[in-house]
Each structure stands twice: as structure tokens, then as C-alpha cells.
Amino acid sequence: MRIKAYGIKQKDGKAAPFYYERGVGENEVRIKVLYCAIARGDIQFISNDWGDTRYPFVPGHEIVGLVEETGSRVTALRVGDRVGVGYQQAACFECGFCKEGNEQFCAQQKVIGVHCYGGLAEHIVVDNRFAFKLPPALHPARAVPLLSSGLTVYSGIVRAQLRANSVVGVLGAGGLGQLAIRFLHKMGHKVYAFSHSPEKKEMINQLGAECIPGSNPEHLATISKTFDLIISTLNVPYDLDDFLKMLKPQGKFCVVASPLKKQPVSIGLLYDYAQRTIYGNYVGSRKDMMDMLAFAAKHNIESIVDIMPFSEMNEAIEKVRAGTVKTRLILENHE
Ligand SMILES: [Zn+2]
């Protein structure tokens, strides 16, 4: 089938109609795209910030749509099912990582932007094991950011193996940070959010966290050995040492976004009477995705979104690039 997508032909170019041929393999499903997010990561792909973008690049790694064709071996999904697709579209399901349920590390995996085209399109074809049934309780547009941002923070939190009633900090209250606050709050932990934006205090409180202004270094220096986990969603440089000192002994610092520049760290803070850990987390496994969607549906966790039509995709891309959107930006397909 000839698939109509919206591709970017060169670095920092505009999205324009772009067609490619794509059949449906025996384990695959074709999905009619209903909603597709434009995220900061898409802009970084358009600008080739990581050096691995392949043009034409079709953005969109958080997608909600309807299954419209299934391959001959697909039994878990049916035509008409409402599904979500994230960053990963395929894996080998035979290697060690796949067999242990860590398909996100499969060397044969296919991810949007590097190996295949994204969801800014009329249709998309993916392995059915990477099309996840969306629980009925979730709103199709407000759930879109769960599929990559939500998975990344949820999986990072789960890996911390927190005890009940832990004390946790969230750095940054943008798209990732807001979801981290919601998950942690609904898991029953005491949540604090560090934010440089005073106008976000009310929103942070509503999400279930107390706000700690991040702009006062003297105040930050007084917080010591308080947190079991700090999760950083910041992509601007910050003083990592300040936050490591805030971790209790055996506390963990989880990075789910990173500044493009190197971050210095005083490595002694990891062992001085502390056993602290720094780890990174990026997307998650299929099991994490299914657990996360079920948890989000049960606790009514969705993102704050602005919806624009596909016809305004280039305006949307510019808005996200300029950083003028305060919510997550979702494109809706009316065709
Ligand atoms: Zn594999």
C-alpha cells in the first residue's frame, strides 16, 4: 500500500507530503493514525542533534490510532481496536534481551526516526507487539504523551524499587516531570517538585506535589539526605552535586532526559557514607508499557495537551521548537 506521510527532507526543513510503499507482514498491523504528538525529541531529530536522523524524516513517536488491517499471524489485535504506539516499532523476539523481556535493548529493533518512519502520517505499519491496546478509560488525545514520555518516567520509577511512602523529588515540571509527579503521587509517595517557574506552583500542587523553587542555591544547599529518589527531567545544565547531596544513603538519582553538554559530578558523593546510585532510563519494555497504561487508566493519569489539526503541522513544529507551548502538543488527523 502507498502510505501518505509528512516528511522532512533536510535538516531543519518543513514537513510536506511524502509517500512510501509499505505492506503488512504476518506479525504486523496497519494503523489509521488519529493523533500524533510533536515533542521536543521530534525537533531534535529534525535538527539532527544526535547525528543519527535519516532524511526524509517522518516525525511522531507517540501515536494513537485504529487498527485497520492485521497480518496473518496476529491474534492479539483486531480491526477497529484503539491502540497506542511509541518509539519502538519492531524487535527480533529471539535475542537474549528480547527473551528476558527487555526488547528495548534488542540490537535488531526498529525505532522511529533512525530505522523507520513516524506517526505524522495517514497510516503506520508496526509489529503488532508494539501496538498497545489503549484502555477504554484513557482519552485518545490526552493519553498520547504516555506512549513515550509516560513509559520513560514510569519505567525509571519502577526501576528504583521504592519502598512504600518514600520521599521523592522531581526536577522539572514540563511534560515528563508532570507525568512523573502524577505516577509517584498515585503510587503513594511524598512528592516534591523542583521548578524554576513560580507560575507552575499551583499546577504542581494540583498534580500532587509540593513545589520547591529551584532558583535559590542557598535554599537548595540546606536540603540534605532527604530523598529516596530524585528523577531529573531537565535538558538544561544543572548542578548534579547539589541534588546528589539531597539523597539519603542508598538514594537513587534517575536521569530521563539530559543536557547536550557534559554534566560534571563529584564521584565521591556516590560512596561517602552513602551508597548512592545514578542511573539513566530511556523508554521501557513491553511489560512496562502495558503496566503503565493500566496504572494510568486506573488512576486517571493523562497529560495536559493542546490539540491542533494535521493541516497546521508546520506551525505546531515551530511552536515546539520555539518553546512557546506550555502543554504537550498533539496533532489530530481529520482525513
Ligand atoms: Zn531481540
| Residue 138 shares a structural domain with residue 216 | no
228: helix, coil or strand?
strand
DSSP state of 163: P
Residue 67 predicted with pLDDT over 90:
yes
Q: 99 C-alpha to center of ligand 1: Å?
A: 7
Residue 200 predicted with pLDDT over 80:
yes
| Residue 61 shares a structural domain with residue 128 | yes
Q: 56 C-alpha to center of ligand 1: Å?
A: 26
Q: For residue 51, name the pLDDT band (cuts at 50, 70, 90).
A: confident
Q: 103 C-alpha to center of ligand 1: Å?
A: 6
Q: 119 C-alpha to center of ligand 1: Å?
A: 23
- Domain CATH number, residue 323: 3.90.180.10
| Residue 160 shares a structural domain with residue 274 | yes
Residue 91 predicted with pLDDT over 90:
yes
* pLDDT mean across residues, the chain: 95
pLDDT of residue 151: 98
Residue 149 predicted with pLDDT over 90:
yes
| Residue 122 shares a structural domain with residue 189 | no
Q: For residue 138, name the pLDDT band (cuts at 50, 70, 90).
A: very high
Nearest to 173 by CA among 140, 220, 210: 210
Instruction: Kindly report, residue by residue over 33-48, the tens digit of the pLDDT.
Output: 999 999 988 999 999 9
Determine the Cα–Cα distance for residues 222 and 298; give it in Å rounded to an integer: 37
Nearest to 209 by CA among 243, 173, 240, 159: 173
Q: What angle do CA 68, 120, 183 make, to 5 degrees?
A: 90
Determine the Cα–Cα distance for residues 19 and 123; give it in Å rounded to an integer: 11
| Residue 307 shares a structural domain with residue 232 | no
Q: What angle do CA 233, 282, 150 make, to 5 degrees?
A: 65
47: helix, coil or strand?
coil
| Residue 248 shares a structural domain with residue 184 | yes
Residue 86 predicted with pLDDT over 80:
yes
| Residue 9 shares a structural domain with residue 54 | yes
Q: 82 C-alpha to center of ligand 1: Å?
A: 26
Q: For residue 108, name the pLDDT band (cuts at 50, 70, 90).
A: very high
Q: 106 C-alpha to center of ligand 1: Å?
A: 4
| Residue 322 shares a structural domain with residue 206 | no
Determine the Cα–Cα distance for residues 269 and 277; give it in Å rounded to an integer: 9
Expressed as residue numbers, the domain containing 319 is 2-146+284-332
pLDDT of residue 198: 84
pTM for the complete prediction?
Answer: 0.95
Q: 18 C-alpha to center of ligand 1: Å?
A: 30
Nearest to 34 by CA among 1, 67, 8: 67
Nearest to 57 by CA among 74, 41, 45: 45
| Residue 28 shares a structural domain with residue 107 | yes
- Domain CATH number, residue 174: 3.40.50.720
| Residue 320 shares a structural domain with residue 245 | no
Nearest to 123 by CA among 38, 54, 66: 66
Report the domain count for the chain: 2
Q: For residue 220, name the pLDDT band (cuts at 50, 70, 90).
A: confident
Q: 111 C-alpha to center of ligand 1: Å?
A: 13
Strands (E), the chain: 2-8, 15-21, 28-38, 63-70, 82-85, 88-90, 110-111, 123-127, 132-133, 167-171, 190-195, 210-213, 227-232, 247-255, 277-280, 305-309, 328-332
Give the Cβ contact number of residue 13 at 10 Å: 14
pLDDT of residue 260: 78
| Residue 137 shares a structural domain with residue 168 | no
User: Rounded to a whole number, what is the distance in angstroms from the first to the last CA of the chain?
Assistant: 17
Determine the Cα–Cα distance for residues 45 and 112; give it in Å rounded to an integer: 10
Collect all residues with Cβ–Cβ distance below 8 Å to 23 and sequence separation of at least 6. 1, 125
Average pLDDT over every residue of 302-326: 94
| Residue 142 shares a structural domain with residue 288 | yes
Q: For residue 57, name the pLDDT band (cuts at 50, 70, 90).
A: very high
Q: What angle do CA 261, 316, 50 make, to 5 degrees?
A: 25
